[in-house]
């Protein structure tokens, strides 16, 4: 049975965890969906893991549409979420054009990075039948503004702002939220404050779902792994087994563990 937005909301209501993993092509998309991963994120992380850039900023809407179409062709039942790349939501017109392109390429939902200022854009996308995941906390497209990849919401004011933004975006029509690199205590408060599913990456086990970049999960990304990463290929005899182990660890609560949290 195919995973839909309604499925994710039922998981939230039933307190059942769900898995999210990035995918970029048809071959891996088939393996990931067959392994039981609930959501495949066609991430603009492809700029780093596929194209060799040092950030996601160079990725275009055309890049995202190409990879979304490939993933959709290989999918066997997961929900497909596609990133809106750098500056794609800078204006309402650009957001509508980008969302149209990605949905027509095969996405079931788009993901936007930002904060409370996205509310008007999300409301218009929602009105036009585009499901939206709002990405809060560390938003990689803003790495230059942040001055690096830094944990967000560490002090009382920024933590409160993060929760206020989440509530504003939920009210605007965001169907799902994603938190990246947020202290676990802040995540717990935010998850308790909203009613939509929350996906985490470096945000603690309190989230309803967890996401990793596929290359991180397989231990093939260059450089030192981020704190929230676990190599699931280690100890497993195949890539498919690693995908299944990841899905199982999220659903049995063993991932993320304390050492993966801030």
Which of the following is catalytic: 34, 113, 170, 180?
A: 180
Residues 6+ apart with CB under 8 A from 230: 212, 217, 249, 255, 256, 260
Distance, in Å, from the CA atom of 203 to the CA atom of 115, rounded to the nearest integer, reads 17
The per-residue DSSP string of the chain comes to ----HHHHHHHHHTT--EEEEE--SHHHHHHHHHTT-SEEEE-TTHHHHTT--SSSTT--HHHHHHHHHHHHHH-SS-EEEEE--TTTTSSHHHHHHHHHHHHHHT-SEEEEE--GGGHHHHHHHHHTT--EEEEEES-GGGHHHHTSS-----SHHHHHHHHHHHHHHHHHT-SEEEEES--HHHHHHHHHH-SS-EEEESS-TTSSEEEE-HHHHTT-SSSSPPTT---SSTT-SSHHHHHHHHHHHHHHT-SS-GGG--
Residue 180: active-site member: yes
Positions annotated as catalytic residues are 180
């Amino acid at each position: 049975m195919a995973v839909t937005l309604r499925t994710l909301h039922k998981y939230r209501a039933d307190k059942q965890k769900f898995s999210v993993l990035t995918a970029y092509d048809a071959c891996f998309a088939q393996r990931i969906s067959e392994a039981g991963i609930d959501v495949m994120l066609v991430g603009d992380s492809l700029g780093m893991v596929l194209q060799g850039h040092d950030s996601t900023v160079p990725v275009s809407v055309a890049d995202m549409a190409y990879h979304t179409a490939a993933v959709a062709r290989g999918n066997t039942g997961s929900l497909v979420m596609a990133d809106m790349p750098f500056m794609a939501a800078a204006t309402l017109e650009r957001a509508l054009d980008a969302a149209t392109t990605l949905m027509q390429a095969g996405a079931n939902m788009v993901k936007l990075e930002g904060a409370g200022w996205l509310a008007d854009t999300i409301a218009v996308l929602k009105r036009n039948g585009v499901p939206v995941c709002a990405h809060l906390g560390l938003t990689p497209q803003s790495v230059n503004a942040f001055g690096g990849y830094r944990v967000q919401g560490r002090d009382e004011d920024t933590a409160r702002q993060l929760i206020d933004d989440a509530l504003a975006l939920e009210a605007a029509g965001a169907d799902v939220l994603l938190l990246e690199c947020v202290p676990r205590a802040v995540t717990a408060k935010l998850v308790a404050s909203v009613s939509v599913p929350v996906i985490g990456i470096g945000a603690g086990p309190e989230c309803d779902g967890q996401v990793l970049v596929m290359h991180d999960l397989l231990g093939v990304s260059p450089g030192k792994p981020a704190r929230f990463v676990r190599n699931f290929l280690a100890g497993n005899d195949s890539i498919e087994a690693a995908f299944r182990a990841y899905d199982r660890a999220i659903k049995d609560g063993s991932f993320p563990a304390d050492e993966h949290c801030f």
